[in-house]
Structure 1
């Protein structure tokens, strides 16, 4: 199921002038904890939980507790909620458009429940939503946000944001469904307030306002203005509902792109940052396996290419405060096969995406770790660029491992950024190896 960042097309190549692109201090694995941010600072650690991961991957909410990730996360973004052609947040059992069964109807047994108690047939809330509620009860302070859109479900955002009336209606419907928790009745499941207090805010994942996204996603020049107004409308209505409940705040965040052309086409940075608690920066898919040559997908630094540092600087230059920038990190790799030309395989022609478990050219870290440990692949590192890849002479995978993540968390602390985000939690190892590396790195350990 391709409703995630794995479906993104590669952004058009452009040059980023990075005067400090290869500064050694910025990529040192042992960055000083006393640098800007320091080990005493509290960082956001935001992980995406995929609705569909409970099926083929058999990754349940309970697994976040079992592997220790829940105790390290500050936020879980639930991917995804959809927007209808009528411009409303909705759910239901509609193949390819909504999955109420996974969200709140599917019963879980005791072994797969966070609290160790099996769901009953008559409880109003089951499925992932109920497990997230149980996870929050076990880990006070953990916040859960509903992420709206994604690559495949951004289809109707442009229409929904087009007018003041349509924006008000969209926002009201999303708050009603997810924040107030008024779910459609599905047998004994759902009903008024059934999912109340599951979600602590909303994450906007419109890909992309003002520029092309998925093939059926509409975009128009006025999206930039309308996205700004949509963010304001979400902030206004969320704050009003918080006041009515005497609650401090519901958070509002967004997933945002790396390419300067996409930033400028769709994001009035200074204005939206006033109303957003933080943004999750695209820190991956700089290059993807559909391209004819192998390339890095998530380098910290890259000369004349997309990079994490280039993304951070692009947003800062446009007025985003560093402490509201959360760096995206991939828990997966992009891969090519039929690589020709020898050497370490990087920058070489390839015949196509590499075979993989779920989708050609896209593989979970837990599977790539096994390849690295097998001895069949050699691990290569660009220490100055801050990225790694595997190559066996024919097939190449570009990915982030714990060593890369230690470099990146050092960069977050040194630059005073807001934290780290990861796509997606189900791709980590059974013992949460990548999550642990990020957590330790942000604490300067």
Structure 2
């Protein structure tokens, strides 16, 4: 690769990260490796069959046969089933068998987890009783190999739209289902009194002045029923005509507004039987039910419009018409503002919990969480054939960073939402339980947001290794719509794939506030094998427009503002090839659709572990100004990069400057009378990890490189370290350079800083960022 295309890839520091994750996975304890069984989506490629091999009336011997009906090898398996309460398992063999009540879970042993295509394995047990298994699941899917069909969700709580002495008219919010809702059973007490296809029912033949309790259960097109709605108790009228619903309340007004809250009051509604309470709606979503004429809505986004209405409910549980709407804008700003409210964005890497030992709790214990405004969780992959957001798989990348298929189908749902964290590793000191639907990093992020309600968390999609299929998903209107919808469904609505008992509809809802698009690079060379098209630049803008359209449509129903950011390159050639950053003749630029961009301010120079980048000469990786002695043709600097965006008319507050919490190093570096700056070298220096030569986190760099003397170049504003003639030479940011850069960006009106990535620092650099942006 050329210096230009590789040295500014923006994520050369990320190139080998998946190999680290793969090796770290191999270090997991045996119990954790069982948790890395084939994901739920592998279920259609395998079956599990039950058979009794001997029966003596009061008990039996039986076996399960797991067969690989697919075309790829299965590396692990889990079979689950239920027995009647009177049937219990005693001795067992060729599996690890556990139970919870009458629910049994069998996982492979170390010698029979691998099943080749067409092959099968068996395990068996002895049981007392004569029951047959029910509800069999293989790796989270049906044991017969058919596609899993999720039961419908619970409908909304029923409410009354009209009451007489002898009837109650009901309505409820619809349930959702992956295959479609067929009908609803309406229960009065424990008895079904009606089955309807719509979301309304009138119960008749009732007694006057009597309480009746109702609930509703949905049934899908496969005949499955879901959980019941919340119950509602409604009283019939006393006779003499219809009990009218309440009037609309008066228009709400705002009594107090802050960056994150709105306090409301409204005039009372009227009703012939009396008012019971009020439902307060933010957009179309019910924010609260209160008995008084006031409510304070919290956890809002600064500088954002919210529309409120209020609906009254009477003592017969009838609801009336909505009040007139009120639109209120929170104070502050959703965008970073010059002079105040700077963005401090930190990338948290999924694989940091392995060899780096950096967990979500580390963000709290180092004090970083209280200083950050945004966390970008890295990374979600793109499904290589479905062209949708990908999760629910635990598959490492291949170890060769030049493998064009290195990231195909890779992911780590184990780290994302399966791994259980003990009390000592947990943000709130409470350990995960085996049966909770959400664990892993996602659950810890949820706990972190509970401690820091103003903290925003984005799901970052792509990165160096996972950008291969961006060109494909951005190619057509249909592919863009499909991709964006899949990402919103998975991460904003929280519909995670079910795998190893974790995940399911809505399990990750409320964690992510938006997306960070990390396409490296549209229209340009990136990772080996990336798909690139001449149309990438235009399609990149259209992809951002589609994200903005669908996120705003969701905002209209939830009342919440969703974020959209991007990681953008330092190299002017890459900007020109893939990023339309200028608004011309009323035609929007890509920046018109995003909240801000995290602009690459590092990786100007470096040498990777395969020595394919710049192995023979040192160079600053994040100098603020051009160094007059720089021998490279590219002459990179932070100042030059940022000015490229500003000269194109990009709003300065949408430019967030990238900082490196890691260093890049060379070995066998000559002194040259310049402490190794711009001098000859012989490849990458030993790294923090064997497979990451040339890279070390900031803390590790200072602690592990013996004899390192730190120097500060005042002219170019660059920090570097040298161990002496023919020794190691490292380039990195420290508190000094961060202080210089934050002081530089303030008068330019830039939006703040971004950090790649948080595991390199135990507090020193984050404190420098926080102090520099006060």
Common fold: TM-score over 0.5: yes
Q: Does 1:335 align with 2:665?
A: yes
- Residue 95 of structure 1, CA deviation: 2.3
Structure 1 spans left out of the alignment, 5+ residues: 10-35
Q: Deviation per CA, 1:69-110, whole angstroms, max 9, x where unpaired? A: 000000000000001122100112222211100000000000
Q: Is the 8 A contact 1:371 1:377 kept in 2?
A: no
Q: 2:683 aligns with which of 331, 345, 352?
A: 352
Q: Deviation per CA, 1:196-243, whole angstroms, max 9, x where unpaired? A: 011000000000000000001111110000000000000000111111
Question: Residue in 2 aligned with 1:296?
Answer: 620
The structure whose residues are more often helix, as a share, is 1
- Residue 246 of structure 1, CA deviation: 2.0
The structure with the larger Rg is 2
Q: Is the 8 A contact 2:11 2:603 kept in 1?
A: no
Aligned residues: 408
C-alpha separation in 2, matches of 1:282 and 1:163: 28
The 3-state SS of whatever aligns with 1:118 is: coil
Q: Does 1:396 align with 2:721?
A: no
The 3-state SS of whatever aligns with 1:147 is: strand
Q: Does 1:74 align with 2:373?
A: yes
C-alpha separation in 2, matches of 1:272 and 1:4: 21
The 3-state SS of whatever aligns with 2:503 is: strand
Q: Is the 8 A contact 2:345 2:373 kept in 1?
A: yes
The 3-state SS of whatever aligns with 1:71 is: helix
Question: Residue in 2 aligned with 1:222?
Answer: 535
Q: Given the superposition, is the C-alpha separation of residues 386 and 254 from structure 1 closer, same or farther in structure 2, using an over 3 Å criterion?
A: same
Question: Residue in 1 aligned with 2:711?
Answer: 380
- Residue 342 of structure 1, CA deviation: 3.1
C-alpha separation in 1, matches of 2:509 and 2:15: 33
Question: Residue in 2 aligned with 1:253?
Answer: 565
Q: 1:195 aligns with which of 469, 485, 508?
A: 508
Q: Deviation per CA, 1:28-53, whole angstroms, max 9, x where unpaired? A: xxxxxxxx944xx1100000000000
Q: Does 1:361 align with 2:368?
A: no
Q: Does 1:138 align with 2:437?
A: no
Q: Is the 8 A contact 1:299 1:385 kept in 2?
A: yes
- Residue 328 of structure 1, CA deviation: 0.1
Question: Residue in 2 aligned with 1:414?
Answer: 747
Q: Is the 8 A contact 1:8 1:213 kept in 2?
A: no
The 5 Å alignment of 1:104-119 reads: 104-119=417-432
C-alpha separation in 2, matches of 1:341 and 1:129: 47
C-alpha separation in 1, matches of 2:378 and 2:563: 16
The 3-state SS of whatever aligns with 2:626 is: coil
The 3-state SS of whatever aligns with 2:636 is: coil
C-alpha separation in 1, matches of 2:372 and 2:736: 20
C-alpha separation in 2, matches of 1:104 and 1:87: 22
C-alpha separation in 1, matches of 2:510 and 2:539: 29
TM-score (norm 1): 0.89
Q: Does 1:56 align with 2:386?
A: no
Question: Residue in 2 aligned with 1:278?
Answer: 596
Q: Is the 8 A contact 1:301 1:310 kept in 2?
A: yes
- Residue 4 of structure 1, CA deviation: 5.1
The structure whose residues are more often strand, as a share, is 2
Q: Is the 8 A contact 2:383 2:390 kept in 1?
A: yes
The 3-state SS of whatever aligns with 1:353 is: coil
Q: 2:756 aligns with which of 420, 423, 430?
A: 423
The 3-state SS of whatever aligns with 1:122 is: coil
Q: Deviation per CA, 1:340-365, whole angstroms, max 9, x where unpaired? A: 25321011110100001121001110
- Residue 8 of structure 1, CA deviation: 5.8
C-alpha separation in 2, matches of 1:220 and 1:73: 36
Structure 2 spans left out of the alignment, 5+ residues: 1-9, 17-336, 398-409, 583-588, 608-612, 628-633
Q: Deviation per CA, 1:273-293, whole angstroms, max 9, x where unpaired? A: 111000000000001123120
Q: Deviation per CA, 1:155-185, whole angstroms, max 9, x where unpaired? A: 1000111111001111011001111100011
The 3-state SS of whatever aligns with 1:352 is: coil
C-alpha separation in 2, matches of 1:254 and 1:37: 20
Q: Given the superposition, is the C-alpha separation of residues 7 and 107 from structure 1 closer, same or farther in structure 2, using an over 3 Å criterion?
A: closer
Question: Residue in 2 aligned with 1:19?
Answer: none
TM-score (norm 2): 0.52
C-alpha separation in 1, matches of 2:338 and 2:463: 30
C-alpha separation in 1, matches of 2:390 and 2:15: 23
C-alpha separation in 2, matches of 1:7 and 1:131: 23
